[in-house]
Amino acid sequence: MEEKTVLTDQDYKDGQLLLFDKPMEWSSFQLVNKVRWLIRKNLNIKKIKVGHAGTLDPLATGLMIICTGKFTKRIHEFMGQEKEYTGTVMLGGTTPSYDLETEVDQTFPIDHITEEAVYAFAKAYQGNIQQRPPVFSALKKDGKRLYEYARAGEEVEIPTREITIYDFEITRIAFPEIDFKVRCSKGTYIRSLAYDMGKGLQSGAHLTVLKRTKIGKYSVDNAQDLTSFEQSFDTSVES
């Protein structure tokens, strides 16, 4: 018989680093709120600081680092670390959001695209890159979120910014789909990478699958889901 190690309210206030595998269609904000609610409910805490070290889009899954208590002061430390993602790009069509959050608005031919061209694009799209963030993003311009402009149908000029792609590996080609793995710096938009791939291949493209697999030394392989986190408050004895 082995007794579980159960964290106390003081443990969470002193600071915990929690690894979660964010579920599909949950916003990062929703996940943080749920974790905060579970801690408060199970430990009868009136107030506890909880924050995340890097947003994931609702349609993305994978690793999120959530910090509690005093560890929230270290969030920027984790946000600045290298990220790794896997995903799928769909060739032949663009969407305003660069992913499946919005419908395809333009279609393009793909018959001219070869496997060699895909590998060549991935090889060229490495190092320091000037990338333009999607208009459907939470970045601010003139005090307003970019997605607010987009949803209102307003045109807005979005400047490029420098990001770093450390490694861009094509893991499967089954036209019109391309699977990839990428290691990149803070501030990289994988949706923009998908859009840029479409343009670079003289076509169009959007992101259909995205999973964050690593942040620095932390891996989604060691992450928990909400069910296991909720069960961690159970003080019963297990065999």
**CATH number of domain containing 182:** 3.30.2350.10
Query: From the candidates 11, 14, 57, 111, which is the catalytic residue?
Result: 57
Domain span including residue 111: 83-215
Whether the per-residue pLDDT at 238 is higher than 50: the answer is no
Q: Give per-residue pLDDT as tens, 154-179.
A: 676 778 999 999 999 999 999 999 99
Count of domains observed in the chain: 2
66 plus 106 within the same structural domain: no
Give residue 1's pLDDT: 38
Give residue 50's pLDDT: 98
90 plus 111 within the same structural domain: yes
Give residue 153's pLDDT: 67
89, 183 contact by CB (below 8 A): no
Taking CA 122 as the corner, what is the angle to CA 120 and CA 127, rounded to the nearest 5 degrees?
A: 115
Strands (DSSP E) along 36-126, which ranges?
50-52, 61-68, 83-91, 93-94, 106-107
Query: For this structure, is 57 an active site residue?
Result: yes
What pTM did the predictor assign?
0.91
CATH of the domain at 52: 3.30.70
**Mean per-residue pLDDT over the chain, rounded:** 91
* Three-state secondary structure call for residue 190: helix
76 plus 87 within the same structural domain: no
Closest CA to 85 of 191, 176, 173, 225: 191
185 plus 135 within the same structural domain: yes
Give residue 142's pLDDT: 65
* Three-state secondary structure call for residue 226: helix
Give residue 158's pLDDT: 77
Whether the per-residue pLDDT at 18 is higher than 60: the answer is yes
Q: Give per-residue pLDDT as tens, 31-83.
A: 999 999 999 999 999 999 999 999 999 999 999 999 999 999 999 999 999 99
113 plus 64 within the same structural domain: no
194, 97 contact by CB (below 8 A): no
Looking at the chain, the whole-number percentage of residues with pLDDT higher than 90 is 80
39 plus 92 within the same structural domain: no
Q: Give per-residue pLDDT as tens, 203-229.
A: 999 999 999 999 999 999 999 999 999
